Structure formats: structure tokens, C-alpha cells
Amino acid sequence: MTDTDAPETPPEQTGHELIHAYLKTLDASPGVYRMLDAQARVLYVGKARNLRARVSNYARPSGHSARIARMIRETASMMFLTTRTETEALLLEQNLIKQLKPKYNVLLRDDKSFPNILVAKDHAFPQIRKHRGAKKAKGTYFGPFASAGAVNRTLNQLQRVFQLRNCTDSVFESRTRPCLLYQIKRCSAPCVGHISAKDYAASVADAEQFLSGRSTRIQEDLAREMQVASDAMEFERAAALRDRIRALTQVQTSQGINPRTVAEADIVALHVENGQACVQVFFIRAGQNWGNHDYYPRIIADIDAPEILQAFLVQFYDGKEPPRQLLLSHPVEDADLLQEALTQKRGRKVEVLVPQKGEKAELIDAAMRNARESLARKMSETATQARLLRGLADAFGLDAPPKRIEVYDNSHIQGAHAVGAMIVAGTDGFLKNQYRKFNIRGDEITAGDDFGMMKEVLGRRFKRLLKEDPDRDKGLWPDLLLIDGGAGQVSAVAGIMAEYGVEDIAMVGVAKGIDRDAGKEEFHRVGQNAFALRHNDPVLYFVQRLRDEAHRFAIGTHRAKRAKAVSANPLDDVPGVGAARKRALLAHFGSAKAVSRANLADLKAVEGVSETLAEKIYDFFHDRG
């Protein structure tokens, strides 16, 4: 890739005249171009098979759509990057769009990773669990699933049918009797020897067969085993096998869309209405429906479906492995180019299809129906949210409805495991990908000092904002702060805001009010008397929802921190002690506490612990002072 320098252009030149001046520097190479406004903000990123030919289209004074004409008028400079191939240009274009978020491009706003099911293979009795993120753990991965809920439902079904363990290795090693899951027939209790390693391995293999879409053979094998057990008058075993067959049948009938002719595909349907778009994605893996997810990409008026769908797909599969087939509701602009790019990413052939008949077309119709219904709900919720934001502005005397509200809360137990939490809401409702948690770390803060905790959280937040978005043009700054507390908290936060020079942000404290009853909340602003809203005011309910969401997030964060501290094992911090050696130490001594008290000779006697490692463990627990 090579950059192409921009020519010197007179300051008064803008629009198509300025673009025309760039043509003399361009050739027929493929590449990516950027259009920038007078403040050097990127307006649009595009790719071209032939840069000169593509840019010459913008140099024409007429014949453009309203969107393109407006974009050309705002263009004050351009940048170019040539590539070796058009496929490379396509991928680079979408990477730059995700990074720069240009005003006139289609932008995928929700780009989280998807969960998988992991059958971990680093233990004699493999654990089955949900996994999200990089696939570093040893084992077999199945996915992606559309949501954590879809994974949890499948895991529950797998437990009922195959009775695989989901406990951690440390819990497994410490069990002396079966847990509740064994009692309710969700686990075969390998931890206490109720199933042999060979039989457990067979159950693991069956679960993997099921997740690979080969469940018919499993049912036949179970039915055969049930008959053998019945003939041998082992009626308790036969009944258990019968229950597993029933559970497997129920799993298959509860999955909804299970296509007969599509083994692995993503079904992608687009619906556009009133300047808004919804893309519905169904995940079909191993002939099973593994859930669906809806997306609402940011689009500009008068943009057509092929451009929207192509931009969505390239951004969507950046960082995700594409399936064998993509079934689309609309053709895309460069289907061959997209197919080539996804094939390169997967390392095997990817087909991009727009089915017109048969089962594939039926799947697209179902996804289209979901997209229409999801967009209708979204538009209704957006209209309601807009009314509430206008009401909030009127109630709190704001100049305009806030586009970004940040709500803060703290959670702790007598100062222990203290955390601060920030949730964000705006015109699209709760923006959960922008929630933040803060581990309270101020040494000078005393137990239960809510004022001190809030000052630390807000101080860290404003310090980060000033660093990341000093010009306030990236949409990261709030228009309104809601603080859980009364006059004291408001005064403390006002002091922090003054210290960082951000006193122009509206800030309101929400206090519980008389008897701490919901509906009697009092609102505090700097330099104003406390006031309340009428009991049945929709704005009051809206503020309560915001405060409750912040409280829920803070409590959840605190509980997670507390649980981690409770379950922490001192052996986790010992250099050189991994999972296998930790299991050996716990099996030998019975507990981490006993390991810490062991003498050097006893540590050396543990299988797998060398003399050098034994000395490290001993020194770790005895040379801290």
C-alpha cells in the first residue's frame, strides 16, 4: 500500500472543483480514498477498482443524489491510499470506516463478539462451558451462538441429555460428595467416581456429535442401550436412558427453525424504513438454529440496500470467521469481491447467495419478517425515548434534550470491595457497550465514604475524557450527569467538575426523599432548591429506570468482585504453579491453607513438584516479610 500526496490547492477551492484538481495525481490503481471537511474531519471513506475513474465521478458538477451532492459541497481535502488488489481495498475501506466513523458511511454500531461452547480438553474429565473471546484454551469450540442466552439454553439441554460437568477444576478436585446437579440428573458426578473415565469420555463424544449435527445416531444408540438394559431387567438404567432420549427429542423440537438442506450458513436480511435500517442475522450451524441477532447500522438518507448490506457484511466479519454460506435478502454491490474477501479470511470457499426459491428462500422470508418487526419495535421505542428526553430537558431546565446521559452509583459493604459504576443512556436507550466500572483504589478513602468514592470515580472519568476527546467532537462527553445522592454528593461532584473545568455539563442529584420510597425522589442542582416531580409523571419513571439500572450494574459489579475475592486461591499467585500442579498440591494436602503451612520436605514429596518448584512455593508463603 502506498499513500498518494495531495496537491496544493487554493484555500477557497471546495467541492467538485477541488476534487477535480486531484485527478492529475491519480492513476488507475485500486485503492481507498477519504473525503475531509474544512476541520479535517473525515466525511466519507470509499474504495475503488480504479481510483482516477472513481474520483472523476465526484468531479462532475451535477448528476448526484442529494446525499452525494451535500458530501461533495462539504469536501475541503482528500487523502488516497493505493492497494495491490481491489479485495485489499475493500477490507481496508471497512477497517477505516470502523476506526474513523465517517459521517456519510454506513456504520455497524454494535460489534461485540459472539459466545461459543467449549468442551475443554485439559482435564481427564472434560468440562463443558460458555466461552467468549480468543480461542486459546485447549479443547473443541462450537459456535458462534447469537447470544449468551442461546448458549445457556443449549448448555442446559446438553446437561439434561449428556450429564457433563460444568464446575471449575478447583471445585471438581475438592468435592467429596456429589453436588445438587447430580441429584437432579444434570451431571454424572465424575468428581466422586460415579462414572468411569471411559463412560464419561463416551458421553463427551456424544455431546460433540450432537453439537456437530449428528444427533440421529445418538438417539439410535441410546434406544439400543435402553433395550439391552430392559432385557437385562436393569429397569432403573433403562428409565434413565429413556429420560435422556426424551430430553434429546425435546431439544430438537424446541429449536424452531432447523433447516433440512442448510448445514452451515448465516442468514442475513435487511429492512429499511424511514431512514432507518435493521439487519437480522440467523446463525445456522450443524443443521441447527443457534439463535439470531438484530443490528441497526447507522445509515444516511437515499442510500440503497446493496451498499448498506455490503458495508454491513464486511464490517460484521472483521474479526469473525464467516460460515460456508451467506444467504442474503438483497444482492450486494460487489458480490464476487465480497465472496473472494470472505474466502481469503476463512481459508476455504465461502458462497454468497441471494436465494429465490426453495428452503433457502423460506429462511430469508423468516429473517425478513423478523427484521421488519424488530425495526417497527425499535422505531416505536425511539419515539418514546425522544419524548422522555424532551420531558427530562423541561423538568431539569436544560437547553435541549440530552443526547448522552451518564448515571453514576457506588456499591460496597462497609467499604469492602468498593466499586463505582457508570451507565449510559441516549436516544437509542441504554448503551450497554459504553458502561464502565471503576475499582475504588484511593488509599485515603475511609470505609463507607460515599463522597470520597464518587469524587474518585468522577475525577478519573473527566481526566480520561479530557485526554481522549479534548475538543468534545467525538460524542464521548455527556450532556447530563445523574448522581445517586442528595445535596452533599452534588456539592462534592460540583467541586470535581470545577477542578477539571467542565462546569458547563448539567448535573442532577437523585435522592430517595421522604421514607426512601420510590415516587418521592427529590432532585438537587447546584445553587437551587431541591424539587420533586408529580407522582405519575413519566419523566419520574424514566429517572427511576435510569437510577435502578445504575444500581443494578453497580451491585452486579460489586458482587462479581466480592465473589472473585472469596474464591481466590493463593496458589494462583505462586510463580510456576499451573493448573496441573495446583491440582496435585490440593489433592496431596487437601487445601491451599495446608500447602502454605507445609514444610519443604513435604512439598518435595508431591508428584510433579520438582525440588526447585518446592523451594519457590515454600519461599512464596514464608518469605513475605
Q: Which residues contact 607 (CB under 8 A, 6 or more apart)?
A: 584, 588
Burial grade of 113 (CB within 10 A; 0-12, 13-18, 19 or more): exposed
In this structure, the number of other CB atoms found within 10 A of the CB of residue 261 comes to 9
Distance, CA of 297 to CA of 280 (rounded, Å): 11
Peptide bond into 115 cis (omega under 30): no
CATH of domain 570-622: 1.10.150.20
The CATH number of domain 2-100, selected from 3.90.78.10, 3.40.50.300, 3.30.2420.10, 3.40.1440.10: 3.40.1440.10
CATH of domain 265-376: 3.30.420.340
pLDDT of residue 515: 58
Q: What is the helix (H) or strand (E) element at residue 524, kind and residue range?
A: strand 522-524
pLDDT of residue 272: 93
* Contact between residue 154 and residue 247 where contact means Cβ atoms under 8 Å apart: no
Spell out, as residue ranges, where the chain has pLDDT lower than 70. 1-13, 111, 215-216, 247-258, 412-417, 442-449, 513-519, 562-570, 623-625
pLDDT of residue 331: 94
**Considering only CA atoms, which of 358, 334, 137, 347 is closest in space to residue 259?**
358
Q: Which residue is associated with the grid cell 471513506? A: 45
Alpha helices, H only, 118-275: 148-162, 169-174, 180-183, 197-211, 215-231, 235-254
- For the chain, residues classed under CATH 3.40.1440.10 are 2-100
The strand pairing partners of 274, in sequence order, are none
pLDDT of residue 309: 94
pLDDT of residue 207: 87
pLDDT of residue 186: 87
Architecture of the domain delimited by 404-565: 2-Layer Sandwich (3.30)
Between strands 325-328 and 265-273, the pairing is: parallel
Q: Which residues contact 570 (CB under 8 A, 6 or more apart)?
A: 592, 595, 596, 621
How are the residues of the chain apportioned to helix, strand and coil, as percentages rounded to the nearest 5?
Answer: 45, 20, 35
- For the chain, residues classed under CATH 3.30.420.340 are 265-376, 404-565
**Considering only CA atoms, which of 256, 257, 278 is closest in space to residue 268?**
278
* Contact between residue 268 and residue 279 where contact means Cβ atoms under 8 Å apart: yes
